Each structure stands twice: as structure tokens, then as C-alpha cells.
Structure 1
Amino acid sequence: MSKVQYLSQEGFDKLEAELKDLKTRGRKEIAEDIAEARAKGDLSENAEYDAAKEAQGHLEDRITKLEDALANARVLDANELDLSQVRILTTVTILNKKVGKEMKYTLVSPNEADFAAGKISVESPIGKALIGKAIGETVHVDVPAGKLELEILDIQV
């Protein structure tokens, strides 16, 4: 059994749209690719057919993962979150004490993570360190670039 995954409504809708697209357009395109490759003759030496079948396997795997994620998803209303501690879907302002730079991140499920958009996974090293902490607390995080010292300045929705 998969574990429950907490998502924002936006994240849930995005996964649902991707699943619908893969089941319709994606499957249709793969079926066309397979049919086209099959029409080229001997399947035992047909690299296009092998590639299309492999792509079909990847597509079906992604569909299964999305179905599982959606079946185990719980949509959270960000407006009902307790802001006394850092939690999933909260936006936290932190100060990187090493470089004196403020950063703002929203903690999200791994499926919604998008570092460029300021959304970090609760399963990332920084996310794990921040969860459950309150304003004023300092956390130490080991990341590939070294050790970070982060002070929590604010928690918002």
C-alpha cells in the first residue's frame, strides 16, 4: 500500500490533467508508433518497433504511478493550516546564515516540487530539516554543497 501524499488543489489538478493526457493522447501516439513500426516488416530486427514498445512500457509505468498517487492523495486547504510550525503547503522564509541571504520556499509533496518556482519537497534535505520547526529556530542541513545553517524567519500560507 502506498503512503498518503498531501497535495494542494493545484498539484492534484495538475497530476489529474497529466494522467488524462497520457491515457488519451499518449496512448494513441504510442499505438500509432507501434503500428507504423509493425508495418515495416520483420519485428525481430526492427529497432523502431523495440523503441516504441519500450516507450509504451514507460508510458504505462507513469500512468500507474499517477493513478497510485491520485488514489492516495489528500488535498489540503492551505487556509486551514496551523502556522505555528513549518508544515506541508506552508511558505517559509529562511535566512541562510552562511551567506546572509533570505530565501522563501513553499514545502510541497515530491510530485509538486519545482525548485525554480520556489517549491521544495518535504522529502528533500532542507524540507525534512524545516518540517515541525517554529519561527526563530535554526536548523543545520547537510546538502551536496556543504552544511547550511538556516534560521526560520516567517511561516505563511
Structure 2
Amino acid sequence: MRAPITAKGALRLRAELDNLKSVQRPAVISAISEARAHGDLKENAEYHAAREQQGFIEGRIKQLEGELSHAEVIDVSKLNAGSRVVFGATVELVDVETDETRTYQIVGDLEADIKQSLIAISSPVARAMIGRHEGDPITIEAPGGTREYEIVSVRYTG
């Protein structure tokens, strides 16, 4: 099964991949060459640090290439689900108890970033919202207990 990803998320991951390949990889190769020139590699901390960094970069490149090759890119702006919550929706919720509002976009697991209010489709919050409509109440089981929310709005923007 292909993992869904928004077009914006795919662009962000491709930009990271490009940076790793064209900027970070050449920089670490240069650092390794420079450290090698200092002689004895057994006690050369710069060499070992650069090799470790190279391993991280190569691992991330391999991971991103694999994920992007198996991803299904979805243009959220072309979705026409109306007020129904589906993948890619930006959903505004209001906490029934505290009146606090929160806005999340439901995205693929690859691009989820709670700091940017991007939640994975596999998360409990997203699963509670999928298939619901504006005005619907939802219940979310959180570590701190059960929370009641109401879906205030559902938008689909790229």
C-alpha cells in the first residue's frame, strides 16, 4: 500500500533530500578528506565525527528516497469533500470544556510535525475526526483522560 502525503509535504521532503545530496553530503566528504590529511585515524576525533555524520546523512537519504518512491502524493486543494473530514483536511476544533480552539491538518505519517500542527492520519486525534463533519462532536482518548471537542470548520487548501 502506498503511503499518502500532501503535495506540500512531498515538496518539503524533496527539498530536504536535495539539501542532503547537494550540500551536506559534499561538506561531510570534504571534512573526511581534511581529517584524513591530519594523519593517524585511530585517535582522530574529527575523522570519526565526520564518518558518523556521513552515516547519518546517507541513512536519511536512503530513508527519504524509499519513502518518496512509495508515497502517493495528494493535492489537497483538488479534494472536494465539502464539510467532511478526510486526509489533507485542515480542521479547527474547539474544546467543549475550556472553549480553547486548535487547528490541525491531517497529513501522512512521513510529514507529521505537531509543532506545525501537522498530525499523522494514523494518530488517535486524526482517526477520531476522519469521516466526521463540521458541527460534529468528537471524543479523543488522551493520556490525560478523555477530551470532548466539536469540529468548528473543515478546509481543503494546498
Q: 2: distance between equivalents of 1:146 and 1:55?
A: 41
Partners of 1:22 and 1:68 lie apart in 2 by: 15
| Cα distance, 1:156–1:29 mapped onto 2, change above 3 Å | same
Residue of structure 2 equivalent to 1:73: 71
**1:100: how far off?**
1.3
Tell me the SS of whatever aligns to 1:41.
coil
CA contact (8 A) 1:15 1:66 kept: yes
**Are the equivalent residues in 1 in contact too, given 2:93–2:102 (CA < 8 A)?**
yes
1:127 aligns with 2:126: yes
Matches within 5 A, 1:5-20: 5-20=3-18
Deviation at 1:96, TM superposition (A): 0.9
Please show how residues 3-152 of structure 1 align to structure 2 within 5 Å: 3-78=1-76, 79-152=78-151
TM-score, length basis structure 1: 0.86
Q: Please give the per-residue CA displacement for 1:28-77, whole angstroms capped at 9, x wherever unaligned.
A: 01101111111121112222211111111110110011101110111212
- The more displaced of 7-16 and 133-142 is 133-142
Per-residue CA deviations over 1:79-111 (Å, capped at 9, x if unaligned) read 224235311111112111121122222111233
RMSD across aligned positions (CA)? 1.9
How far apart, in 2, do the equivalents of 1:29 and 1:66 lie?
A: 19
* Length-normalised TM-score, structure 2: 0.85
AA aligned opposite 1:23: K
Give the percent of matched residue pairs that are identical in Structure 1 and Structure 2: 36
Deviation at 1:19, TM superposition (A): 0.9
Q: What SS class does the counterpart of residue 47 from structure 2 fall into?
A: helix
- Contact 2:5–2:71 at 8 Å: present in 1 too? yes
- The answer to which of 42-51 and 62-71 deviates more is 42-51
* CA apart distance, 1:151: 1.6
Q: Is the 8 A contact 1:113 1:120 kept in 2?
A: yes
Q: Which deviates more from structure 2 when the two are superposed, residues 140-149 or residues 45-54?
A: 140-149
In structure 2, C-alpha distance between the alignment counterparts of 1:69 and 1:137, rounded to whole Å: 34
